[in-house]
A and B are shown apart, each in its own frame.
Chain A
């Protein structure tokens, strides 16, 4: 998976609790992305980062925040999880405007 790890790989939580997902890369790539994948919707971009402390919103950013304090780490936070945020979350990295390499994914269930 191109030097990308995601943690945790699986998580079950309750509505209203905060959740943080971590993406860690060893490739020193500039760009990092968070996607969610849902049946019938495919992959949708939540947030992306184009450098340390530089982030921007994607297609479905409401209810999510991100932080990138180091090149290798990109955190996705659900401040107050809702059942609609039950999904599979993928992190991706790239070093240019083309190839994106994806991590193994995190399965999040919000009860």
Chain B
């Protein structure tokens, strides 16, 4: 069983839609959670970082962590064509060895 499970999609939404991306995990000791965005043939760029449980908001992006369900989410409001990318979740017990999901491919249609 993989440490982190992420639906690969692809996910296609119209511009302006709310997007929900999710990951589940098996290790209850994970306490550092991140979301990355990766454009084609580029390195991942950090979007959101959360320590332990709770919600975090940054502009159009909201990250949620539910440790009791071992489930994390990233919400994108008012999605834009420039949001079209692959989104990766990552998590860690220690803060240095991160386990990544396989990524969800998102396309926002103008």
A residues adjacent to B (C-beta < 8 A): 1, 31, 33, 35, 40-45, 48, 50, 58-59, 90, 94, 96-105
Taking a contact as CB atoms under 8 Å apart, the answer to whether B101 and A104 are in contact is: no
Closest-by-CB residue of A relative to B49 is: A98
Q: List 11 A-B contacts (CB under 8 A).
A: A42-B4, A42-B103, A43-B44, A43-B90, A44-B100, A45-B99, A48-B97, A99-B34, A99-B46, A100-B34, A102-B36
Q: CB distance A40 to B97 under 8 Å?
A: no
User: What 9 additional pairs, Cβ within 8 angstroms, besides A97-B94, A104-B43?
Assistant: A41-B102, A43-B44, A44-B100, A58-B97, A96-B95, A97-B32, A99-B34, A102-B45, A105-B41
Using CB atoms and an 8 Å cutoff, list the residues of chain B in contact with chain A.
4, 6, 32, 34, 36, 41-46, 49, 51, 88, 90, 94-103
If A42-B103, A43-B88 touch, whether A97 touches B95 (CB-CB below 8 Å) is: yes
Cα–Cα, bound, A19→B42 (Å): 22
CA of A2 to CA of B100 in the docked complex: distance in angstroms?
Answer: 20
Contact (Cβ within 8 A) A50 B88:
no
Smallest Cβ-Cβ distance to B101: which chain A residue: A42
**Are A59 and B95 in contact, CB atoms less than 8 angstroms apart?**
no
Q: How far is the CA of A45 from the CA of B91 in the complex (A)?
A: 12
* B100 and A97 within 8 A (CB): no
Contacts of A31 in B (CB 8 A): 96
Residues from chain A with a CB closer than 8 A to the CB of B6 are: 42
A42-B100, A42-B103 are contacts. A99–B44 as well, Cβ < 8 Å? no
Contact A42 B43 (CB under 8 A): no
